[in-house]
Amino acid sequence: MPRPKPNPRQRTRPHLFTGRLRVAIACFLLFLWSWALDPVSLPASRWQAANQPAFQAASFEGIIGQGVLLGIFGGFRSIMADFAWLRSYIHWGRHDRASCETFMRTATALDPGNILFWTGAIDRIGYDMPRWEIDEREHGGQLQVDKAVQAQITREHVERALNLAAQGAKQHPQHASDFWMRSGHLCRLKLRNYEQAALFFKRAAEGDPPLWFASLSYVNALCELGREVEARLWLREEIKRRQARNTPDPQDILGILKERLEELEKQRFNLSLPPTL
């Protein structure tokens, strides 16, 4: 006798209670697992709260005003900061100034302890973005932007970069010399303001900890300003300060500074000689 064919309209449904029971068991097991891990997770959470820089709400004023929605989920701040930084790279490749700067500032606000976020944002705003805006106004070379306008565009971007460097130095006082050094290079290379660059280089050279190459940059900036006498006097005092510290010098930084002082002394001697007939 042939077996009756099943009716396609009749569909088997899973037991509703069985599905809910599985979900309930899974949630219960997750709860037990999290409860069992509390003795391990609590010390780590306390260490993170003590060592991670505090969230800077004031730095979000300019970001939220541009309509960027940000969520702060405790330990996920670093992950969100990395995501924002990667997004800034995408807009950097597109030369999108507003979006790139927004995501960079978002990354520094979410994870202020990451030095690379600060330094990368300073360099992009100060070096790349002025060129992007000038190229955008020139429309691929079809128009020529006046030199005075170019200088004004560069000055505006560099000032924003300098303000960000000042915030970074305040947020990370142990790395303040690095921020002052970057500020000095921006003033020297982009603004051609050697006076302001010299002041930043001096702060970096006399900071805590000082940067030895900032000493050379400060001396060179003084020479560019025609203040060779002041450069020699300051370099002599800097060498005396380093000798008084009596700290290990595996890179022979003291020798490098002495060589630079000898060069300045030779230049002074050559200038003092009368011209030969």
The structure tokens 């020479």 sit at: 223
pLDDT at residue 56, rounded to an integer: 46
Q: Is pLDDT of 59 > 80?
A: no
The structure tokens 């009368």 sit at: 274
pLDDT at residue 15, rounded to an integer: 53
Q: Do the beta carbons of residue 185 and residue 161 sit within 8 Å?
A: no
pLDDT digits (tens, 9 = 90+) for 105-119: 999 998 888 999 999
pLDDT at residue 203, rounded to an integer: 94
Calculate mean pLDDT across residues 255-259: 90
Q: What is the 3-state secondary structure (H, E, C) of 98-142?
A: HHHHHHHHHHHHHCCCCHHHHHHHHHHHHHHHHHHHHHHHHCCCC
Q: Angle 208-200-118 (CA atoms, 0-180°, nearest 5)?
A: 75
How high is the mean pLDDT of the chain? 79
pLDDT at residue 141, rounded to an integer: 61
At 77, is the pLDDT very low, low, confident or very high (cuts 50, 70, 90)? Answer: confident
Calculate mean pLDDT across residues 202-225: 90
Q: What whole-number distance in Å separates Cα of residue 232 and Cα of residue 91?
A: 46
Across 2-6, 212-216, 241-245, least confident range: 2-6
At 42, is the pLDDT very low, low, confident or very high (cuts 50, 70, 90)? Answer: low
Calculate mean pLDDT across residues 32-45: 57
pLDDT at residue 78, rounded to an integer: 82
At 201, is the pLDDT very low, low, confident or very high (cuts 50, 70, 90)? Answer: very high
Across 4-8, 79-83, 262-266, least confident range: 4-8
Higher-scoring residue by pLDDT: 139, 105: 105
